[in-house]
Amino acid sequence: MFQHRLDQKPSRAVVLHWFLLAFNGGCINAGGFLATGRFVSHVTGFATLFGVDLVNRGSDAAIGILSVPTFFLLGAFLAGLLIDRPIYLHRKPHFDYVMGLSAFCLYLASFGAGVFGQFGEVIKLSQIYILLALLCLACGLQNGAITSSSGSSVRTTHMSGLTTDFGLGLARLLTLHDGEADYPKEILANKLRAGSILSFVLGSAVGAWIFIQVGYRGFVLSAVIATYAAWHGRRAKIVPHHLTSV
């Protein structure tokens, strides 16, 4: 899960783990939307909500909603401190700490009944602000961990850039010819992109069904997946890592 380098073909186990975390990203996003009416695994929607709230509800509400994605940024920042920085300094990266903290945030979110109001009801931002912060922080941590370990080649909590890359990749396949050096790499990259997108969609569907049935407790599934990733992160500490770039 956390042992890939760009100069190596990822193993089947690594790829399946990436897809599992993309599934988890979709699940968290579905739960966040059903609970609060807002998407939480990416920051794009909050920029739009800022504009809408600025017009409809005033500057206080707009500034409040704009502050939420800073928790996603905080998660990515912590992942950088605990993973990228140790790798750069030739020390052991702490993938387990990052994914463990993500799991902790999700476990806290699963106890939302009686704290954040009735699941799915339209409520004020002040009532769900902590829930939004927890979910954005969890997603930022997860995305930071996988982005670091994959050399910035994989994202698991949002699909906009990945879908763009997929479209460009399909166009490249029409240009390249079988036998060229870059052709197998582009085939592999497109398979990873398609698999990640499908996993995210599947996670959204499965997550939506679960959250409709059990409400906030649905976040337990995502917390368990993050805990599993933290366990793998513990094992990854014994494997040498190197910073790579695309």
Extract the tokens encoding 11. 């193993």
The pLDDT score that the predictor gives to residue 245 is 43
Compare 58 and 126 and report the one with higher pLDDT: 126
The pLDDT score that the predictor gives to residue 203 is 95
Nearest CA among 72, 127, 126 for reference residue 102: 72
Long-range contacts at 67-70 (CB < 8 A, ≥ 24 apart): 68/38, 68/129, 68/132, 68/133, 68/136, 69/43, 69/136
Share of the chain above pLDDT 70, in %: 80
Nearest CA among 1, 207, 43, 231 for reference residue 109: 207
Domain 12-37+69-236 architecture: Up-down Bundle (1.20)
pLDDT tens digits, one per residue of 94-142: 999 999 999 999 999 999 877 888 888 866 777 888 999 999 999 999 9
Rounded distance, CA 113 to CA 104, Å? 17
Compare 237 and 18 and report the one with higher pLDDT: 18
Rounded distance, CA 223 to CA 56, Å? 35
108: left (phi over 0), alpha (psi -120 to 50) or beta: alpha
Q: By the 8 A CB rule, do 225 and 105 touch?
A: no
Extract the tokens encoding 105. 């945030």
Return the top range by mean pLDDT from 53-67, 114-128, 164-178, 192-206.
192-206
Residue extents of the structural domains in the chain:
12-37+69-236
Rounded distance, CA 129 to CA 98, Å? 22
Torsion 46-50-52-53 (CA) sign = positive
Rounded distance, CA 140 to CA 42, Å? 8
Residue 27 is which amino acid? C
Provide the whole-model pTM. 0.85
Rounded distance, CA 40 to CA 215, Å? 16
